[in-house]
Amino acid sequence: MAILIFGDNFSFPEGNAGTNRLYTYAKGFIENNVNTYVICFKNDYLVNGNGIVDRIQYFNPLNQSKKNNSFFIRNWFKVVKFMNTLRLVKKINKQDKISAIIVDTQVILTYLFSYYLAKKINSKLIVENSEHPLRYYRKGFGKVIIGNLKLKLQLNTFDGILLITQNLIDFYKSKLRNDKKLFLVPSTVDPSRFSIERSVIKPYKYIGYFGSMKFGRDNIDLLIKAYSMIYKKYDDVHLVLGGMVSDKEAVMLSDLIKSLKIESRVHILGYLLREEIVQYIINAYILVLVRSNDADTNASYPCKLTEYLTTGNPVISEKVSEITKYLVDSQNAFLIEPGDLKELSEKLDFVLNNYQFAKEVGDRGKELTESIFNYNYQAKRIIEFIKSL
């Protein structure tokens, strides 16, 4: 039995939250004696697009290290990418029968290609979905139609689907007659990734946020404002923000920090490599999750929260998505109402003043990453689900 992870909604082995989730799948499958291959179908220009990491073989079928200046040549390589992938999948399947293709994509053409590949090698097609399927198709008559057609196509072609929240399970249940195709896989994390030795990477204690830095979905401005309300009481505690940020939002962040006169105490790191993020998360004094409260956000689950818990550091989070299904305030994390600036500032103040208790809460939160959020445990469940289809 072998499993192929395929799609263009992620990079590999470096990437976003989607990359981290699929990475844990692959590592867990291999540790449960299921050979796993990853084909990253994105148009990434990489010097080393193919390789092996944690015994996971990964490939980038575009096979281009830099972007060609010619529009026609660039698009020709994108066509060749399909042929390269087909040859690669046939080769893998010949030497190691692929039982299932797990596809992660938002692109209809990529999805149709994954369906073709699955049929070609007589494999099960499993969709990975940690977002609402209509998230990008809410506005505009044409987009609404395309979104619903895409969803209908998916419903009639997949063999199974992996969903990160009960919210998504309930949505798909209303669309399908056979709910045995649906499988809940909570956020997954590899605790060993965060078990490295702590070190002093900054000459001060810091409250950390590491993830997408946006004013919309990740309302990072709430954290900055809350910190500005308590920072004068704690001379040795700074705020460190790391993650992808657009040029526009970088300016907005800078303007907000300047307006609050906290430039010397707030540090924006920008994009960090996979292992750099680990170092900053592990060494944080407090970790904070801020996130907007809307239908699409509540259909997903913040994977960075699970990573935060792995450290055993005190974690503060808003009560969004299905966080309260797993976490209880002051038992295994500290929870606040969504968007409540006053409560967030008070919670930061409480944790800083009661750090020994907060650390005990953090340790109990860490226990969840050895059970329900553990990648190996969830990988076993996914393997059994695939076998049952």
For residue 352, what pLDDT band results from cuts at 50, 70 and 90?
very high
pLDDT in the model for residue 243 = 84
Mean pLDDT calculated for residue range 181-187: 97
Mean pLDDT calculated for residue range 32-50: 93
User: How big is the chain, counted in residues?
Assistant: 389
Do residues 39 and 5 lie in contact, with contact meaning Cβ atoms separated by under 8 Å? yes
Within a 13 Å sphere around the CA of 374, how many CA atoms are in the beta-carbon half? Answer: 13
207: which residues sit within 8 A by CB, 6+ positions away?
A: 223, 227, 237, 238, 239, 240, 284, 285, 286, 287, 288, 348
Mean pLDDT calculated for residue range 185-197: 93
* C-alpha 179, offset from chain centre: 25
Task: Report strand pairing: 51-53 vs 205-210.
Answer: unpaired
Sheet holding 124-129, edge to edge: 51-53, 56-59, 35-40, 2-7, 98-104, 124-129, 160-163, 182-184
The Cα 227–Cα 223 span in angstroms is 6
Residue 139 clears pLDDT 90, i.e. is over it: no
Encoded tokens for 171: 């949505």
pLDDT in the model for residue 106 = 92
Instruction: Give the architecture-level CATH label for domain 192-370.
Output: 3-Layer(aba) Sandwich (3.40)
Q: Where in the chain is the domain with CATH 3.40.50.2000?
A: 2-188+374-388, 192-370
Q: Which of these, 88, 92, 83, 309, lies nearest to 188 by C-alpha position?
A: 309
The Cα 347–Cα 349 span in angstroms is 5
pLDDT in the model for residue 101 = 98
For residue 81, what pLDDT band results from cuts at 50, 70 and 90?
very high
Q: Which of these, 372, 377, 281, 382, lies nearest to 327 by C-alpha position?
A: 372
For residue 270, what pLDDT band results from cuts at 50, 70 and 90?
confident
Residue 77 clears pLDDT 80, i.e. is over it: yes
Write out pLDDT tens, residues 140-168: 889 999 999 999 999 999 999 999 999 99
For residue 339, what pLDDT band results from cuts at 50, 70 and 90?
very high
Kindly write down the DSSP assignment for every residue of 301-322, as one continuous string.
--HHHHHHHHTTS-EEEES-TT
For residue 182, how many other CB atoms are within 10 A of its CB? 19
Helix (H/G/I), strand (E/B), else coil: 137? coil
Kindly write down the DSSP assignment for every residue of 143-195, as one continuous string.
HHHHHHHHHHHHHTT-SEEEESSHHHHHHHHTT-S-GGGEEE----B-GGGG-
Mean pLDDT calculated for residue range 117-142: 94
40: which residues sit within 8 A by CB, 6+ positions away?
A: 7, 8, 10, 11, 12, 49, 58, 59, 60
From residue 231, alpha-carbon distances to 228, 260, 298 in Å are: 6, 11, 31
Name the helix (H) or strand (E) containing 80.
helix 71-95
pLDDT in the model for residue 12 = 92
The Cα 292–Cα 83 span in angstroms is 41
The Cα 84–Cα 97 span in angstroms is 19
Dihedral class, residue 243 (left if φ above 0, else alpha if ψ from -120 to 50, else beta): left
Mean pLDDT calculated for residue range 359-373: 96
The Cα 41–Cα 165 span in angstroms is 26
Residue 216 clears pLDDT 80, i.e. is over it: no
The Cα 105–Cα 114 span in angstroms is 10
The Cα 114–Cα 102 span in angstroms is 9
- Is the full-model pTM beyond 0.75? yes
Instruction: Give the architecture-level CATH label for domain 2-188+374-388.
Output: 3-Layer(aba) Sandwich (3.40)
Sheet holding 334-336, edge to edge: 266-270, 237-242, 205-210, 286-289, 315-318, 334-336
The Cα 213–Cα 272 span in angstroms is 12
The Cα 42–Cα 375 span in angstroms is 25
